Chain A
Amino acid sequence: MLKRNFFLKLVVNLNCELFAIFRCYQELLYPLLFSILAIVLFPLSISIDPVLLKKIAAGIFWIIVLFLILLMLDQLFRNDWKEGDLEQLILLPKELTMALFIKLLVFWLFISLSLIVVTPILSLSLFIPVSALKTLYLSILLGTPSLVFLGGIARALTLGLRNSGLLIVLIILPFYIPVLIFASSAVSLASVGLPANGPLAWLSVLMVLSVSLSPLLINRILRLGIAFV
């Protein structure tokens, strides 16, 4: 009985969030377009030397992905806060954690799906070898959830502020560094033909920890009432 109810809530919440994000995705397209352009323009402005690009490609790719998510974070929870949906959820503490998890999950789905679609073209323009494409995809799938779910914590802390963009970056950047290091080292190892299991394993550890713990933490933060100052 309880389980059935749980799944019903999960499905209805997920449905509504998906509808909501796909009916107003335009706000999210700008950062995406910006980062695609940045990656495409990089080889044009430096040089089209494959040997040089092979060395720096992984780093460039992941720095831009990190910037993309930092730019996107400003939109996370923004509409929910503006419309008062989040306020109503805070008043229902039992529902809050699941709703937050679904919100973050849908936000991540939007980012990762769009990244996955454009990755082949981007890797081509950065001369990342085809043999490393599998590792690149794995690093996106394992790395971006940590970035989004950790970013949710910073977003929740700055929710009541008018100009939260700068503060989010300052709060969250130190926590993004490990993900950046592991993800870009995995891709650069794979592009020279070495196995990248080590960094990928660390990425999945970070993912499991952040995905499971951050909705609980955001729940606590929101219920502290610091957004209402």
Chain B
Amino acid sequence: MLTVDQLSYSRNNRVLFKQVTFQLLPSQVLHIIGDNGSGKTTLLQILTGLRIPLTGKVMWKGIPIDKKNSNFTENLLYINHHLGMKASLTPIENLYLFLVRRNVVHTQPKKEVINGIYQILEQLNLKDCSENILARLSMGQQRRLSLAKLLLIQADCWILDEPFTSLDNVGIAFMLSLMEKQSIRGGSIVFTSHLANFSLSLEIKKIFLGSNNHVKT
């Protein structure tokens, strides 16, 4: 459960947003809408704890995230316009490293884990390039690969920055189905996108970050 209390932030002497307050219950989806430069990415960075807000606080299950809140970091999946992986490694190597860092791999042999990764890559239609290094993959393939993280581990809080960019129609449909599954599972999602309407069978909360420094909910 993500609670955001009176968040504000300014950059270059310009107020990006003032007193953003909302609460996100399990299974809820929040869509942040705004023009370019309105502070969508900044807001997401604050929600993850990467950026420190000017005022206000972000809480996960009632505990502020800036303290050593390991429950939050273990349940957070943040995907943004960066790769979030190493460009000089192959998808298999990257995802194995990801799983090890996330404490998912314990005693099972490496082969078993790699097989699991293969299956997910097949689901994402990336099996052919599983041995190529990431720098050689196309933009869309890289974006698709970042979806593999959402499939590999179960996290209760997804924070997705423009998850639909560079995806084809099949990819967008797949992403939407993933979001539906996450919501049914009881996880919460925060995402940004320019698209205003989706064919999602879920109720979506919306926040508008306007260029006139107003925040409407």
Q: How far is the CB of A102 from chain B (nearest CB, A)?
A: 11
Q: How far is the CB of A96 from chain B (nearest CB, A)?
A: 10
Say whether B133 faces chain A, with CB atoms less than 8 Å apart.
yes
Known contacts: A16-B93, A23-B88. The answer to whether A9 contacts B83 by CB under 8 A is no
Say whether B52 faces chain A, with CB atoms less than 8 Å apart.
yes
Say whether A12 faces chain B, with CB atoms less than 8 Å apart.
yes
Of B49, B50, B96, B101, the most chain A CB neighbours within 10 A belong to B101
Known contacts: A12-B97, A16-B89, A16-B93. The answer to whether A91 contacts B76 by CB under 8 A is yes
- Contact in complex: B101, A87 (CB < 8 Å): no
Chain A residue contacts of B185, Cβ below 8 A: none
Contact flags B31-55 to A (C-beta < 8 A → 1, else 0) = 0000000000000010011111000
- Contact in complex: A85, B85 (CB < 8 Å): yes
Say whether A158 faces chain B, with CB atoms less than 8 Å apart.
no
Say whether A46 faces chain B, with CB atoms less than 8 Å apart.
no
Name the CB-closest residue of B to A82: B82
Chain A residue total in the interface (Cβ 8 A) = 31
Q: What does DSSP make chain B's interface, helix, strand, loop or mixed?
A: loop
- Contact in complex: A79, B86 (CB < 8 Å): yes
Chain B residue contacts of A9, Cβ below 8 A: 100-101
A91 and B48 alpha carbons, distance in the complex (Å):
8
- Contact in complex: A95, B101 (CB < 8 Å): yes
Say whether B70 faces chain A, with CB atoms less than 8 Å apart.
yes
Q: What does DSSP make chain A's interface, helix, strand, loop or mixed?
A: helix
Chain B residue contacts of A170, Cβ below 8 A: none
- Which of A8, A19, A84, A93 lies in contact with B73, CB distance below 8 A? A93
Say whether B105 faces chain A, with CB atoms less than 8 Å apart.
yes
Of A1, A24, A225, the most chain B CB neighbours within 10 A belong to A225
A161 and B116 alpha carbons, distance in the complex (Å):
39
- Contact in complex: B83, A225 (CB < 8 Å): no
- Contact in complex: B86, A83 (CB < 8 Å): yes
Known contacts: A79-B87, A225-B51, A228-B50. The answer to whether A87 contacts B100 by CB under 8 A is no
Q: Top 5 A-B pairs ranked by shortest CB distance?
A: A84-B82, A23-B88, A84-B84, A228-B51, A12-B100
Known A12-B100, A89-B101; further 9 A-B contacts with Cβ < 8 A? A9-B100, A82-B82, A83-B83, A83-B84, A83-B86, A88-B78, A91-B78, A93-B70, A225-B50
Interface of B toward A, CB cutoff 8 Å = 45, 48-52, 68, 70, 73, 76, 78, 80, 82-89, 93-94, 96-97, 100-103, 105-107, 133
Interface of A toward B, CB cutoff 8 Å = 1, 4-5, 8-9, 12-13, 16, 19-20, 23-24, 79-80, 82-85, 87-95, 99, 224-225, 228
Q: Mind listing 5 A-B residue pairs with CB under 8 Å? A: A9-B101, A12-B97, A19-B93, A20-B88, A93-B73
